[in-house]
Amino acid sequence: MTRKRCSHLWEMVNVADGLVVMKKCFHCNKVSVCFVFHHDPPLEPCREQNHFWNYAESDESFHFDLRCTKCGTIVSLDELVCLMRCTGCDDKCRVCAFLQSFGPQDVQVYIAMGRRPVEEGRQLSQEQFWALEAYFNQQTDSTKSKIKIVRHEMVKDLDKCYAEVISDADMLFATSDEVN
């Protein structure tokens, strides 16, 4: 018996506000980026394994999961810290080059920021990334700008990236003209 494959139609669920928090270890100089489900930045230094984290900065953002409205499958996006809109700040960055390969109004590029340090935290799986892209592709009107999502590993230097952290779901579907 062959199973019919679901043609997923995704919706956002479990939407929650919070902060994207960046901390820096004064011992090894690594940067940590994570999402917290509150609006109070963790100003107190903390120790975690071999790291001594000091608060650096934070941005408001939100967390969400995706659910298929047809089959009920839920894809948890716990490894996604935030989405950031590429501003084209560095011509030497692969994300910027990708953005520039399209017409000026054709595409908005979002960076799916995972946890940092990258080597110490789980990142988005292929299934999670696929569901995220599928969700955005179903949301866009074919007559308007398309949305492309790339992994944060494509960013030349995350510490010098000026991409705009998306702070709410409405910002995800604003056109470039509405953002500027």
**Own/partner long-range contacts of 26-31 (Cβ < 8 Å, ≥24 apart):** 26/52, 26/54, 27/51, 27/52, 30/116, 30/117, 31/56, 31/116, 31/117, 31/158, 31/159
Query: Domain limits of the chain?
Result: 10-179
Residue 160 in this model has a pLDDT that exceeds 60: yes
- What are the tens digits of pLDDT across the range 109-127? 899 998 888 777 788 898 8
Residue 108 · residue 176 · CB < 8 Å = yes
| Distance separating alpha carbons of residues 25 and 52, to the nearest angstrom | 5
Q: How far apart are the first and last CA of the chain?
A: 53
The predicted pLDDT at position 79 comes to: 93
Q: Is the dihedral of CA 25, 29, 34, 38 positive or negative?
A: positive
Mean pLDDT of the chain: 84
* Average pLDDT of span 146-151: 86
Residue 4, token pair as written in the block: 């019919």
**How much is the pTM?**
0.82
- What are the tens digits of pLDDT across the range 21-58? 999 998 898 888 999 999 998 889 898 888 999 999 99
DSSP reduced 3-state for 100: helix
Residue 25 · residue 32 · CB < 8 Å = yes
In percent, the amount of the chain with pLDDT more than 90 equals 37
Residue 18 in this model has a pLDDT that exceeds 90: yes
Q: How confident is the model at residue 62 (pLDDT cuts 50, 70, 90)?
A: very high
More confident residue, 81 or 48: 81
The predicted pLDDT at position 2 comes to: 43
More confident residue, 94 or 180: 94
Residue 4 in this model has a pLDDT that exceeds 60: no
Residue 1 in this model has a pLDDT that exceeds 80: no
